[in-house]
């Protein structure tokens, strides 16, 4: 039984995230999609909203060949990973710009917890420029999100915007 943690903000979940989850499923029996609670960031969606959206989106696609769980955590990722009895941390690499930061984090995490491996995965090229930050920017400027996020995510963003 191989278990991985896929940590991130998922504010909101994008098709790039889903691509990584699908690929990760080929390597692991279970992936816990773990939303990092970061009090310093001003998010678009609350943790509860992100949890709910992720669950719905994952149910909708429902083509995964592994077990998927949605959770959230605070504090050190490696502490959370050990508590969940995970073998690995999955991260996505889009470009060289991701690599530098990700390598630093992976090596620090290894130092803190040598039993947990970090696995880097590359998305399909069509998602290699998709980030939550850019999705929010495009959305706030009135651009189409078709193909970048699941339609449910775009709907929720519109609802949230409309409700102030």
Ligand X SMILES: Nc1ncnc2c1ncn2[C@@H]1O[C@H](COP(=O)(O)OP(=O)(O)OP(=O)(O)O)[C@@H](O)[C@H]1O
d(CA 23, CA 93): 13
Biggest CA-to-CA distance, the chain: 47
d(C-alpha 72, C-alpha 120), whole Å: 21
Task: Identify whether 55 is a catalytic site residue.
Answer: no
Active site residue 160: no
Q: Is 94 a catalytic residue?
A: yes
Q: Please tell me the distance from the alpha carbon of residue 54 to that of residue 152, in angstroms, as a whole number.
A: 10
Contact flag: residue 131 with ligand X (CB under 6 A): yes
The smaller minimum CB distance to ligand X, of residues 16 and 150, is found at: 16
Annotation says 136 is catalytic: no
Selected binder of ligand X within 91, 139, 153, 156 (CB under 6 A): 91
Q: How far is the CB of 94 from ligand X (least distance, A)?
A: 5
Q: Catalytic residue among 3, 50, 91, 132, which?
A: 132
Residue 12 binding ligand X, by CB under 6 A: no
**92 part of the interface to ligand X, by CB under 6 A:** yes
Q: Which residues contact 44 (CB under 8 A, 6 or more apart)?
A: 11, 12, 136, 157, 160
Q: Least distance in Å: CB of 70 to ligand X?
A: 13
Residue 109 in contact with ligand X, rule: CB under 6 A: no
Rounded Cα distance between 53 and 58, Å, is 9
Count other C-beta atoms under 10 Å from residue 2's C-beta.
12
d(CA 109, CA 5): 13
Contact 57, 150 (CB under 8 A): yes
Of 5-13, 48-56, 81-89, 106-114, the segment contacting ligand X by CB under 6 A is: 5-13
Candidates 67-75, 86-94, 137-145, 151-159: pick the segment binding ligand X (CB under 6 A): 86-94
Q: Residue numbers of the site for ligand X (CB under 6 A)?
A: 8-11, 14, 16-17, 20, 91-92, 94, 98, 123, 127, 130-133
């Amino acid at each position: 039984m191989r278990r991985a943690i896929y940590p991130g903000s998922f504010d909101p979940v994008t098709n790039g995230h889903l691509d990584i989850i699908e690929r990760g499923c080929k390597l692991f029996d279970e992936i816990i999609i773990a939303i990092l609670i970061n009090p310093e960031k001003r998010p678009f969606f609350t943790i509860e909203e992100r949890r709910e959206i992720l669950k719905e989106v994952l149910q909708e696609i429902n083509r995964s060949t592994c077990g998927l769980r949605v959770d959230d955590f605070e504090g050190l990722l490696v502490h959370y990973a050990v508590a969940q009895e995970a073998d690995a941390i999955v991260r996505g690499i889009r470009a060289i710009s991701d690599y530098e930061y990700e390598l630093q984090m992976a090596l620090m995490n290894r130092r803190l917890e040598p039993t947990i491996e970090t696995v880097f995965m590359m998305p399909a090229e069509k998602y290699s420029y998709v980030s939550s930050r850019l999705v929010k920017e495009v959305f706030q400027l009135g651009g189409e999100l078709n193909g970048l996020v699941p339609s449910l995510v775009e709907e929720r963003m519109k609802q949230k915007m409309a409700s102030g």
